[in-house]
Amino acid sequence: MRVRVATTALGITAALLAVPACSTDTTEAKHHTTSSAPTGKPTDALRKAAVLSSAALETRLLDQSYLGTGYLRKPERPARHDDVTVIGCPALNELGGDAATGGPLSFPHKAKATFTYGGSSSELSEELYSDSANKLSEGIGRIFDAMTGCPTYQVVAGGTPIDMASQKLPAPRGLGDEQWSQLLTFSTGGRSTVVKQTAIRDGSLLLIVSGFPALVDRHLDKALAKATATR
């Protein structure tokens, strides 16, 4: 499978996650229940079902005031795209050559922020997406299943081979409606980078937190709390 993706470790992960949500949007009784209450106020289910704009998602991202001292937000840079070949992962190949294309997930409403910590190379990345619950669930579920279904595979990015290892992790319980988590190891040139990636769907909102495992664990709860606070 040859695709064009960003050539950083997190960039490759994001690109491999860029699977179009191609499911048919059907009626979701769970998320579209109407209320018979006379107040006229939307129910919790309706608020969770409302699709948010990219501008609204941007205001729900973590910032330094939530993260604490030592965090600096990285400016967004134009993605550098190179031809990438994925070797040894039939599950990813089955998604098709056009299914994984560079950039963030292909949901229409999105926002992203990336932070460095303590002046080191440790990073924390937060992505927010909004679409119907069905589309979010199927889109992210398919790609997590594909990636964790391949314990080891190789990515050749711009002629540079990167050995990949994936491990499915127990998803955090009690957060949102659905959860996914995995540990990815990128190895090249005798050096390895470990990235934890956890995704949580809450109604029509999808949160993905990626980066140094300890930072993901430390800030996942507050990322979800801020993302869903005003709904």
pTM: predicted TM-score of the whole model, two decimal places: 0.79
**Quick one: tokens of 211?**
């980066």
What is the secondary structure of 31-66 as a DSSP string?
T------TT-PPPHHHHHHSPPPHHHHHTTS--HHH
Report the DSSP beta bridge partners of residue 156: 85, 161
The domain segmentation of the chain, as residue ranges, is 2-19+65-228
pLDDT at 104: 58
pLDDT at 32: 35
pLDDT at 156: 82
The SS3 call for residue 220 is: helix
pLDDT at 91: 79
Closest CA to 207 of 67, 73, 79, 61: 61
- In the chain the first and final C-alpha atoms are separated, in Å, by 40
Per-residue pLDDT tens, the chain, 231 aa: give them. 443 333 344 455 554 444 343 333 333 333 333 333 344 455 667 767 899 999 999 999 999 999 999 999 998 766 555 567 788 888 776 764 333 333 457 788 999 999 999 888 789 999 999 999 999 999 899 888 888 888 998 888 778 898 999 999 998 989 999 999 999 999 988 999 999 999 999 999 999 999 999 999 999 999 999 999 865
- Around Cβ 15, how many Cβ atoms within 10 Å? 25
- Distance, in Å, from the CA atom of 184 to the CA atom of 146, rounded to the nearest integer, reads 13
**Quick one: tokens of 56?**
């609204």
DSSP state of 76: P
- Distance, in Å, from the CA atom of 9 to the CA atom of 34, rounded to the nearest integer, reads 44
Phi and psi torsions of 40, nearest 5°? 80, 0
pLDDT at 17: 47
Q: Which fold has domain 2-19+65-228?
A: Protein Transport Mog1p; Chain A (3.40.1000)
Report the DSSP beta bridge partners of residue 166: 184
> Reduced to 3 DSSP states, what percent helix, strand and coil does the chain have, rounded to the nearest 5?
25, 35, 40
